[in-house]
Amino acid sequence: MKKEKKNTIKKLKFILTYMEGQKLKFVILMGVVLIFVGLSLLSPILFQFLIDNVIKQDPITNPLMVWYSNVFGGVDLIRKNLWLGALMIITVNLLTLSLQFLRGKWNGQISELFAEKLRNSLFAHLQHMPYAYHQKSKTGDLIQRCTSDVDTVRRFIAGQFSEMLYAISVTIIAMIVLFNVYAPLAWIAIIALPIIFVFAYAFFIRMQKIFKSSDEAEGYLSNTIQENLSGVRVVKAFNREVYEAEKFDEKNKTYKNLTYRLIELLGIYWGASDFICLTQILVVVLFGINYAQQGILTVGQFFIFISYEGMILWPVRNVGRILSDMGKMLVSIGRLQEVLDSPVEPLTEGVTPEIEGDIVFDHVYFKYEDGEQEVLKDVSFSVKKGQTIALLGPTGSGKSSLVHLLTRLYDYQKGSITLNGTELKTIQRHHLRKNIGIVLQEPFLFSKTIFENIRLANPNANERQVIEAAKAASVHRVINEFDMGYKTLVGEKGVTLSGGQKQRIAIARTIINKSPILIFDDSLSAVDTETDAAIRRALKELSGGLTTFIITHRVATAQAADQIVVLQEGGVAQMGTHDELSKQEGLYARIVEIQGRMIEGEAA
């Protein structure tokens, strides 16, 4: 219970954080709501005055009304010129309505600026989260949080805060007035208030859970669609259309049933609360008639009771809805906090030494945070500036993990890695990544033109530099063959590129930075051997002192390296040049043998 309370406070703090800069406006808005309430409640009193004092000619008892009628020239004058009464009503309404305008406008401003701030910080947070987070995250679910959950919170802030204040203050002020008019009937008039309030609250508790599960079901539903669409080739190739349709139907049905239950519950709530509210009004009407017949209540006072009853009941009933919306909002805030609370990696923390390319691995151990197995075990080797290192090894032997460590996408647990003598863990991540270019195994291209994609990391690059990089990556010719050349759109909304084309564009955008260290995480696998060799040649020409890591399965690629590191089950199994390793008994020699057979056959 206590923990829950703490959570709620944390969630309210969350709202305040993103309201920064608008708190004053918010306070003024609340003031406007209060004045608005006062004016709305004035209308029935005005009516009562017109009915009782003007039309029915009862003596005025309310001192405020005496003053008010004197402003308009006295009751008799008003009676003779009833349009003055009409004018009074219009005046009060004009005032009320202009306040309402302000309320709408400020509600809009506050909520939209709130949403803007929240979206920005979500996006920034996502960008700053570590690689491991994105490796595991569910895209569909994250997008839903960033869009529909933000929207739920925004909508609440847009209307419900001032709505809630309105409901509460209307109730209080109206009750004061009613008790002043005739206390016994006022007591009768509020019988239903606690009932409806408790009912609304119980309902709100119930709703929260169902809303959450319906929301989750919607998430699963869109995830299922997304997965089906991105795996459409597999679905078709395995003739699994029926299976997929059944799987989807199941999710679709779950979502439908859950949401239908939600709506049905809403129906019960609205039906029952309508019943309670209207019954309360009926009770007031009946007792009011009774009191009026006894002469205790004037017609105008009866009118006030009926009008105020409506003005109290509907907002109080609304409190139920607001509470249920608040439930939704709290769930959404919880989901957003899950994202925002997960730790980011400090990108600009650490030293920024000159990075040249001398690298020493010294008894490095690494395992993933949620993993049990050591991915890298006791890895030691050193690299000199300008060298090319080929990393070979079976699938899962830790090659990718090893190069990921170099750019601090992950941090090792034991041992040390030094760059020109500086411990890697102390170097600023941004600095490091600017100086170490890595081409990922499955590169992602943004929905921009090819030109823009290539110069992403170096926005100042001119056309010549972009083309130069594309040429070095052996993709210039391919690009020119597109209708729009470098202006061709790629990514989600653009042309579909082959794996090899994507890899080469990714290589171009990485080498445009001219970083002293370059890593290819098996990023030449989808290009043919000829192109592979051409790219490596071009890189050599482009800059002499480049330190390069290449993860590869090709002996030809390994052969050209200054040093070959063979990994097996996370450890360095063999190390040396091609010549040395070919002569050694071991994995490398076996690979060479397998790949080399044909050459012997040809030579013979």
Segment contacting other proteins (CB under 8 A): 11-19, 183-191, 508-516, 537-545? 508-516
Positions in 273-292 near other proteins (CB under 8 A) = 274-275, 278-279, 282, 285-286, 289-290, 292
Nearer to other proteins, 394 or 576 (CB): 394
320 is a site residue for other proteins (CB under 8 A): no
Q: Which of 228, 416, 422, 465 binds other proteins (CB under 8 A)?
A: 228
d(CA 568, CA 163): 65
d(CA 487, CA 534): 25
d(CA 522, CA 344): 27
- The pair phi, psi for residue 186, each rounded to 5°, is -60, -40
Question: For residues 362 and 378, is the Cβ–Cβ distance under 8 A?
Answer: no
415's torsion region: left (phi>0), alpha (psi -120 to 50) or beta? left
**Least separation, in Å, of the C-beta of 2 and other proteins?**
35
- For the window 411-440, what string marks contact with other proteins as x by the rule CB under 8 A? -------------------x--xx--xx-x
In one-letter notation, the amino acid at residue 568 is Q
The alpha carbon of residue 345 and the mean position of all alpha carbons in its chain are separated, in whole angstroms, by 18
User: What single-letter DSSP state applies at residue 459?
Assistant: T
Q: Which of 24, 71, 341, 395 binds other proteins (CB under 8 A)?
A: 395
Helix (H) or strand (E) holding 571: strand 571-576
**Least separation, in Å, of the C-beta of 19 and other proteins?**
14
Question: For residues 439 and 519, is the Cβ–Cβ distance under 8 A?
Answer: yes
Nearer to other proteins, 422 or 441 (CB): 441
Segment contacting other proteins (CB under 8 A): 13-21, 96-104, 160-168, 313-321? 96-104
525 is a site residue for other proteins (CB under 8 A): yes
1 is a site residue for other proteins (CB under 8 A): no
Nearer to other proteins, 55 or 66 (CB): 55
354 is a site residue for other proteins (CB under 8 A): no
Question: For residues 380 and 571, is the Cβ–Cβ distance under 8 A?
Answer: no
Question: For residues 499 and 526, is the Cβ–Cβ distance under 8 A?
Answer: yes
What tokens appear for 532 in the block?
């592979």
232 is a site residue for other proteins (CB under 8 A): yes
Helix (H) or strand (E) holding 163: helix 161-181
Nearer to other proteins, 46 or 542 (CB): 46
Maximum CA pair distance of the chain?
127
202 is a site residue for other proteins (CB under 8 A): no
Nearer to other proteins, 301 or 387 (CB): 301
**Least separation, in Å, of the C-beta of 414 and other proteins?**
20
Dihedral sign, CA of 27, 30, 31, 32? Answer: positive
d(CA 211, CA 219): 12
93 is a site residue for other proteins (CB under 8 A): yes
d(CA 298, CA 304): 10
Positions in 360-379 near other proteins (CB under 8 A) = 370-373
CA angle 227, 233, 238 (to 5 degrees): 100
**Least separation, in Å, of the C-beta of 9 and other proteins?**
27
3-state secondary structure of 72: coil
Closest CA to 129 of 360, 338, 400: 338
**Least separation, in Å, of the C-beta of 356 and other proteins?**
19
CB under 8 Å to 46, separation ≥6 — which residues? 88, 89, 92
Positions in 573-602 near other proteins (CB under 8 A) = 578-579, 582, 587, 590-602
**Least separation, in Å, of the C-beta of 159 and other proteins?**
10
Q: Which of 34, 65, 193, 266 binds other proteins (CB under 8 A)?
A: 266
268 is a site residue for other proteins (CB under 8 A): yes
- For the window 439-468, what string marks contact with other proteins as x by the rule CB under 8 A? -xxxxx-xx--------xx-x---------
Q: Which of 528, 545, 580, 584 binds other proteins (CB under 8 A)?
A: 528
134 is a site residue for other proteins (CB under 8 A): yes
107 is a site residue for other proteins (CB under 8 A): yes
**Least separation, in Å, of the C-beta of 4 and other proteins?**
30
30 is a site residue for other proteins (CB under 8 A): no
Positions in 533-562 near other proteins (CB under 8 A) = 533, 553-556, 559-560
Residues binding other proteins: number (CB under 8 A): 192
Positions in 321-350 near other proteins (CB under 8 A) = 347
Question: For residues 220 and 228, is the Cβ–Cβ distance under 8 A?
Answer: no
Helix (H) or strand (E) holding 567: strand 563-568
Nearer to other proteins, 7 or 283 (CB): 283
Q: Which of 216, 227, 374, 452 binds other proteins (CB under 8 A)?
A: 227
Nearer to other proteins, 230 or 426 (CB): 230
Neighbours of 571 (CB within 10 A): 16
317 is a site residue for other proteins (CB under 8 A): no
20 is a site residue for other proteins (CB under 8 A): no
Segment contacting other proteins (CB under 8 A): 5-13, 170-178, 379-387, 495-503? 495-503
**Least separation, in Å, of the C-beta of 420 and other proteins?**
20
Closest CA to 513 of 450, 457, 449: 457
Nearer to other proteins, 362 or 452 (CB): 452
Q: Which of 25, 30, 34, 119 binds other proteins (CB under 8 A)?
A: 119
Q: 421 exposed, middle or buried (CB, 10 Å; 0-12, 13-18, 19+)?
A: exposed
Closest CA to 204 of 159, 148, 164: 164
Q: 25 exposed, middle or buried (CB, 10 Å; 0-12, 13-18, 19+)?
A: middle
60 is a site residue for other proteins (CB under 8 A): no
136 is a site residue for other proteins (CB under 8 A): yes
Query: What percent of the residues of the chain are helix, what percent strand, and what percent coil, each to the nearest 5?
Result: 65, 10, 25
d(CA 457, CA 452): 9
